[in-house]
Structure 1
Amino acid sequence: MSKKHRHEHHEEHADESWLLPYSDLMTLLLALFIVLYAVSSVNTSKLEQLSKAFKSAFSDGLSIFEASTIVQTGDVQSPKDGIKHLSPEGKSKAQLQQEEQQNLEKLQQQLQQYIKKNGLSSQLDTQLNQSELLITIRDNALFEPASAAVKPEARKLAVAIGQMLQQYNDYEVMVTGHTDNLPINTVEFPSNWELSSKRAINFMKILLENKAFDPRRFGSIGYGEYRPVESNNTDAGRAKNRRVEVSILRKYSDASTDKSAADSGAANSQ
């Protein structure tokens, strides 16, 4: 007699796979509510400041990164708004310009006193303008004709100038050489370009013997006969054109003023 096998009915469990997307949905809803709450409590003044910064960036032709430097605590203004922007030291550009002017005037006075004391008024000159303090040295005070070697007695002058400059060693200094239009053609100096460049370099090297200076702030250029200050038609004019210039460049100059001065100088030279 065969036995009847009874099949036990197992209880079937409900499908709970819907819980996973449901939990994800609830998480997203929670995140949404948090974002909405955060947006609702945004400081409108800060949002307006950010809007002004972007507007300034696109309207003034500045990049977003440049415009970000305009943003300051409590104020967001474009440069055209006339606000005095503060430096990291807390000084406005106008204050820095004033201090710089006072420093350069003091340095110019020291140079003029040295010139007067040593009877060098016919060989040295100083000029303070909107872009630099310019020290002009006649070539006969430094070099023999057609030579770039600094005279032994002229080294004292270069060292003295360096000592006066060292208290302002955070300025950029450019040394430039100039000649008259008389041609030169030697093995060492095929043209006035080489002569003026070598003279500028040799004078700069003496300045840099002063260890107070950072060589990265110095540079030299030779202009040959192409930057005359007087006509080359006379001996006196050619003598003034043969020179070495030491420029102490301003750090806080007004670009618009500099451009006007440069344009005026170019017009006067024509």
Structure 2
Amino acid sequence: MHDDRLYDEKELEKSWLISYSDLITLLFVIVIIIAATQMTKIQTQREAAKKEQAEQQANLKQVHESLDLLNLQKLELEREIHQLEGQKKALTGTVDEKGTQEQEQAQKSVPKPPVGMPDTGERDMETVHNQLSSALAELNLDYEETEEGLRIRLPEKILFASGSADLQEQGKEVVGTVARVLQRYEYKVRIEGYTDDVPISRSAYKSNWELSSARAIAVMREMVDAYSLPASRFTVAGLGEYRPLVDNSNEENRARNRRVEVIILAEKE
């Protein structure tokens, strides 16, 4: 006869295997559920990507169709422009021929100035000279008449601080005196900046050439911005130390060489 207690102990020893197998089964089910969920998510993402790609292709096709339409419209406009230009040339030729005839008749009817009388340009330049000479004499500024026109020399000590290209208040007043006369006439103007031959040591500019250019531009800017003179009338040059008035043998001569020259050319815009 078997001992019942021995049987129960053996059954108890086997019972943990059942619990372990249930746990493994449960974990396997959980892994399957997770895998199924991820597969569903991946499938959804794939479908969304395919849908987006299809939309992009449709949009791209629409863009190409629009470009084709625009190219056709462009060709049509170019054809119409070509036709209009041809009509314009034909009309211009007719008008020019008529205008030339009228101009020739008008020139014949205008009386010529008396012999020895200066033309309008010469009289205007003489007026500019007279108006500026008195103002420049009051300011003790140097000027001279050349073949090019009227050359005005503005010394550094009036216009700028040492090594600077920012106009001082006195410099702005002097430049304004010249600009107010230029407002009445259409002569072209050349502005040239000059320095002495001492190398720059303490300045925002690396060389005398750059400093002279910046100073010439500053004078032009004052005339354009403050007095509304057209920038197209001006030519600017920076000549540094390369064209001195006198030799740089002493401080007085170097001060004379540091200048900005404004040349009012005998040529209208």
Pairing partner for 2:149 from 132, 143, 148 = 132
Q: CA deviation at 1:90?
A: 8.8
CA contact (8 A) 1:176 1:222 kept: yes
Paired residue secondary structure (1:180): coil
Q: CA deviation at 1:202?
A: 0.6
Task: Give, in whole Å, the separation in 2 of the partners of 1:190 and 1:90.
Answer: 59
Give the gaps of 5 or more residues in structure 1.
Answer: 1-71, 74-85, 253-270
Pairing partner for 1:153 from 132, 155, 170 = 170
Task: Give, in whole Å, the separation in 2 of the partners of 1:182 and 1:172.
Answer: 32
Residue 110, structure 1, aligned to residue 131, structure 2: yes
CA contact (8 A) 1:195 1:224 kept: yes
Task: Give, in whole Å, the separation in 2 of the partners of 1:97 and 1:251.
Answer: 15
Closer/same/farther in 2, CA of residues 228 and 96 from structure 1, 3 Å limit = farther
Larger Rg: 2
Residue 172, structure 1, aligned to residue 193, structure 2: no
Partner of 2:205: 189
Residue 204, structure 1, aligned to residue 220, structure 2: yes
Task: Give, in whole Å, the separation in 1 of the partners of 2:118 and 2:228.
Answer: 24
Instruction: Please give the residue correspondences for 1:1-270 in structure 2 after superposition, counting only pairs within 5 Å.
Output: 98-117=119-138, 120-121=139-140, 124-168=141-185, 170-186=186-202, 188-210=204-226, 212-251=228-267
Alpha-carbon deviations, 1:54-92, whole Å to 9, x = none? xxxxxxxxxxxxxxxxxx99xxxxxxxxxxxx9xx9979
Partner of 2:48: none
Task: Give, in whole Å, the separation in 2 of the partners of 1:184 and 1:102.
Answer: 44
Between Structure 1 and Structure 2, which shows a larger proportion of helix residues? 2
CA contact (8 A) 1:108 1:126 kept: no
Closer/same/farther in 2, CA of residues 185 and 95 from structure 1, 3 Å limit = farther
Paired residue secondary structure (1:209): helix
Give the gaps of 5 or more residues in structure 2.
Answer: 1-99, 102-106
Partner of 1:62: none
Alpha-carbon deviations, 1:131-178, whole Å to 9, x = none? 11111101111011111111123212212210011111x211111100
Closer/same/farther in 2, CA of residues 205 and 95 from structure 1, 3 Å limit = farther
The alignment's TM-score, normalised by the length of structure 1, stands at: 0.53
| Identity %, equivalent residues | 33
Task: Give, in whole Å, the separation in 1 of the partners of 2:198 and 2:132.
Answer: 31
The alignment's TM-score, normalised by the length of structure 2, stands at: 0.54
The one-letter amino acid paired with 2:181 is M
Task: Give, in whole Å, the separation in 2 of the partners of 1:187 and 1:158.
Answer: 23
Aligned length: 161
The one-letter amino acid paired with 1:195 is L
Task: Give, in whole Å, the separation in 2 of the partners of 1:90 and 1:180.
Answer: 53
